[in-house]
Chains A and B, each alone.
Chain A
């Protein structure tokens, strides 16, 4: 029994075969696994370890290293606000504070309905369009409070 969808499982097998050494597929696999499951539960870790012929410990070592990988669920929409220098100079911290106020949660918390979570993150490569945030993988740039409200509302409506 796989914790992954057949398509994902297929993709993993192809991915592992596409590198000179299967283990190279580990980081992408973890990220894609998280995309599907929302986080990396123990069963996913075990399955990926088995698929690559690695120990679960080796997989956990890797998960702990990368800041995008998580072993506990986040919100369906994970709001990642950059406060690094280019964003800070253009109001990134205020955007973060605004998100927290609007969603009623703190950094690294999830709304009770599981819809949103907030994380203050490091530079996301949107410096010239600061301040910026990402909801899951989607960039939103040149933000101000009104625009943040609009964005959050759009996601909320999307459900």
Chain B
């Protein structure tokens, strides 16, 4: 118990046996699965049992003594958080004795808790305040000096105020058990006890802020938010995180339209308890002083000058009409951070209004290859549908194969769920990677490739008879209870004869495997992976990992030169006819250029207009500035990116947090959100697209996300998801493909960012908090 997590106690939510036990609480007969904790059974029956230290799915502490209840035939009060329900148990939770015990526990906690609630960040959302209000005494009998200790700053985002700390150890456990970071501990003894950071006076950790989030009081506060406002002055708006592809819910704290924080206050998103550093602290890019506030048009002297919206839009459409009249070439590059509705309307604008299939986005996963492979008759016959797993499925998975990628850095929610499955469901994790990634600590087996690529290894797993096996060392997993971080213990390679053969043989023993794969697999390697997956027993499901908040949505909505929404081939006449009917106009038949080909066309002076929405392609594919002169470049974005700096017209756009719409995470979970913050001077990408369409004579209707989503539901393969589920704030899995998609000609266009926990392309560069964290972590 000292390190708190490894207490040999029944874990909350231990696997339940089929039968139920019956017991009585306050005269009501209740039933629960054997092994259920009394506190959980009561809460499920709406019988409130207060607690501080108890937290679902974390190890049991029995420290705060708030949950003491009377159990008949046991003389002492019992902690409901550690008592397992038993047949015939008779429990009382509302007797004078229990009330007195709660009152006393509050009184004890308050003896050394400063009553600085008026200036405490947690004031108004403090569990101790609430409990004192509900269960505490009206007066304090403690009249001795309180212990004081100065507040400590442990990182750019974590502050610790020992006097406020009630030592519930939630932070220690969530950091260790939940995050596998183990950066917090307990120091000293008795009344001097304190929470310790792992480096004496500071933290070295993932800066996820889970410790702050889970703190029931204001002992741990956020450097990014503290002392800015009072919680009741903010509106709390649920949003989908604008950063990685996992689609966590972050609740925006918005005051007068300004987003002051992201947090996880209701914990009812697909991410449950989890939120990472970006989702929590990255929202401050919306407040960055360099945010574009007005459209800019390059004047005769070559300078970008602020202009009115009307002038900017007319400047664009005048030029575009001219290029159309001259039969010039248009290119459109969409965003991985716009809503589905915007991506859908953007490619509609390109295909139906500008008449081009030169449409693309920054790709980071080969979704078409996956859906194509899944639609193969062999695979389809062997596997029931759907063959896609949502993020939550990882939590209850029996076995997971992780090929490539580094979820800890790039997909923190998937990593959290994988650790959850390992810790609470005993899932077997198999890792195949060239790098010794951190999830190896949860792996049952890791194949650490010493030569060759993940793609080579997957091809070998799918068809071992061909060629020499790629060389891999099967490594032992971390010893249980290992808390060393960030260094994983050095690999102890076990030279197992057969290498990957052994790995495959072990996997073949598993059933219902979920395969999660990174950008290392594209094209035929994805096909091979699905062939291998189909050979495994049970129902194999897949998750492809793509970088950004709506990378998956951009793909699903047809931001491809050769694919229409729902991965229907442009070259397929029936598919074209379908959308031509829906959009009221023809679609060009020939597949267009991809992003790199468009940029190359700029360099050849063959592209006459390029419209870039929420992307920064010139970072990846730089162009010669001289060649840009013959291309009319329009960029809409939040900031003056490298690409925007080269533009003829720049349009200030609103961020994902400032608009309503749907977003699809990397697993395919569609989620809906309402506008959170606002920003004077900028417009949503949809408003801009619709305005441009209208000026070009096409009526896209009101720029209303709900209306466009209705069209998407009707027209796009797999998107007829449950509206009820969406409105309830849950993810609805879109399974977009039931027929073969053409092989992508350009697997080299899968270009992942390899973001770390603290980087996120343009948005990250404009987040003061992420930069502060990054700076701290890059110091030697």
Query: Contact residues of A with B, CB < 8 Å?
Result: 42, 53-58, 60-62, 64-67
Contacts and interface: CB of A to CB of B under 8 A. Distances in A.
Interface string B147-187: 00000000000000000000000000000000000111111
Contacts of B198: 55-57
B489 A64 contact: no
Contact of A61 (B196, B200, B485): B196
21 contacts: A53-B479, A54-B484, A55-B182, A55-B483, A55-B484, A55-B485, A56-B199, A57-B183, A57-B185, A57-B199, A58-B3, A58-B185, A60-B196, A60-B200, A61-B2, A61-B3, A62-B2, A64-B196, A65-B189, A66-B189, A67-B189
Interface in B192-208: 196-200
Given A55-B198, A56-B198, A61 B483 contact: no
Nearest to A63: B187
A64 B483 contact: no
Contact of B186 (A42, A54, A55, A61): A61
Given A55-B182, A61-B2, 19 more contacts: A53-B489, A54-B483, A55-B485, A57-B182, A57-B184, A57-B185, A57-B196, A57-B198, A57-B199, A58-B3, A58-B185, A60-B185, A60-B196, A61-B3, A61-B187, A61-B196, A62-B2, A64-B187, A65-B188
Interface of A is mostly: helix
B482 interface: yes
B203 to A, nearest CB: 10
Contact of B484 (A53, A60, A67): A53
Nearest to A67: B189
Contacts of A53: 479, 482, 484, 489
B196 A58 contact: no
A67 B188 CA distance: 9
Contact of B188 (A56, A58, A64): A64
Interface in B374-388: none
Contacts of B182: 55, 57
Contacts of A67: 189
Interface of B: 2-3, 182-189, 196-200, 479, 482-485, 489
A62 B189 CA distance: 10
B483 A60 contact: no
A58 B483 contact: yes
Contacts of B482: 53
Nearest to B194: A64
A60 B187 contact: yes
B51 to A, nearest CB: 24
Contacts of A60: 185, 187, 196, 200
B480 to A, nearest CB: 11
A58 B188 CA distance: 12
**Which 3 A-B pairs give the minimum distances between C-beta atoms?**
A64-B187, A57-B198, A61-B185
B495 to A, nearest CB: 22
Contacts of B489: 53
Contacts of B184: 57
Given A54-B483, A57-B183, A58-B483, A64 B189 contact: yes
A109 B184 CA distance: 31
Nearest to B183: A57
A60 B197 CA distance: 10
Nearest to B193: A64
A58 B185 CA distance: 7
A84 B717 CA distance: 79
B416 to A, nearest CB: 21
Given A57-B196, A57-B198, A60-B196, A65 B185 contact: no
A55 B185 CA distance: 11
A60 B189 CA distance: 12
B2 A65 contact: yes
Nearest to B481: A23
A55 B2 CA distance: 14
Nearest to A62: B2
B209 to A, nearest CB: 19
A53 B492 CA distance: 14
A149 B178 CA distance: 57
A120 to B, nearest CB: 15
A75 B485 CA distance: 36
A54 B182 CA distance: 11
Contacts of B199: 56-57
Contacts of B186: 61
Contacts of A54: 483-484
Nearest to B187: A64
Contacts of A62: 2
A54 B482 CA distance: 7
Contacts of A56: 198-199
A140 B496 CA distance: 62
A42 B484 CA distance: 17
Contacts of A58: 3, 185, 483
B580 to A, nearest CB: 63
Interface centre among A53, A57, A60 (most CB of B within 10 A): A57
A61 B188 CA distance: 7
A84 to B, nearest CB: 16
